[in-house]
Amino acid sequence: MRMAGWTWACGALLAAGAVLAPANAQELSEKATQTFMEYAWQLTPAAFTKPDGTTIQIDKKKKGDVMVPLDVARKIIRAGRLSAHAQVCELAQDQSDNHNSLMRRHLQSKKWTPQQLVYINQLHLTTVMLLTGRIMLVERQGDKEVVVEEEKRKAQTCSDEQKQKVKEMIAAYVKSGPSLTKKAASTSAGDAQPAATAPVKKE
């Protein structure tokens, strides 16, 4: 059974004027933000291996130690929405730059544990997957469960005007953050995205 959050997300991606609307008009409510955060938590792996081969362990029983504040989550989701627009508009480099800028900001802030950085990364990825149609929300015996599944859906389209606007918005976002020409430190999830390729099973 599909849930309301899924319907909202699909309809919001490239709805008329969505890309061009001012940021405050696109602000997520507290409930919607918490819903995105919960989806991301369900898809956060118990272990994440960085490009250098080291592994970050995440105790899934200690959710409170890994989650980030609501206002921070909103900013991550907003960046994820930009990445989703870039993906629909087939702007691969812009999408990568947007994600890398997000992660570089949080890494350099030195506010977060390695586990929280993995979660930040996963919240961004989950937002992209939700808005581009890779996540389904099903209900089994009253419990909501997030699963990852490629659906045969009508391809989303992106006009030349939307594509240009997305490029401009990402360029502005990247410019406002730390330089991407400097290599990030290797203490976080880095620029790699944790894969979420299998359904999350309830214990």
pLDDT of residue 32: 87
Task: Tell me the per-residue pLDDT of 16-65, one tens digit each, with 9 for 90 and over.
Answer: 334 444 444 456 788 889 989 999 999 999 999 988 889 999 999 999 99
Distance, in Å, from the CA atom of 18 to the CA atom of 10, rounded to the nearest integer, reads: 12
pLDDT of residue 59: 94
Distance, in Å, from the CA atom of 61 to the CA atom of 81, rounded to the nearest integer, reads: 29
pLDDT of residue 148: 53
- Report yes or no: 196 and 124 within 8 Å, Cβ to Cβ: no
Q: Which residues contact 63 (CB under 8 A, 6 or more apart)?
A: 41
Distance, in Å, from the CA atom of 27 to the CA atom of 74, rounded to the nearest integer, reads: 8
Residue that has been written with the tokens 């469960």 in this structure = 145
3-state secondary structure of 160: helix
Closest C-alpha among 134, 128, 130, 111 to residue 193? 128
Closest C-alpha among 111, 39, 121 to residue 76? 121
For the chain, give the mean pLDDT.
Answer: 76
- Report yes or no: 181 and 174 within 8 Å, Cβ to Cβ: no
Distance, in Å, from the CA atom of 179 to the CA atom of 63, rounded to the nearest integer, reads: 32
- Report yes or no: 44 and 91 within 8 Å, Cβ to Cβ: no
Task: Tell me the per-residue pLDDT of 122-177, one tens digit each, with 9 for 90 and over.
Answer: 999 999 988 887 666 555 555 555 555 555 455 677 889 999 999 999 999 999 99
pTM of the full structure:
0.75
Task: Tell me the per-residue pLDDT of 88-134, one tens digit each, with 9 for 90 and over.
Answer: 999 999 999 999 999 999 999 999 999 999 999 999 999 998 888 76
φ/ψ of 164, rounded to 5, equals: -65, -40
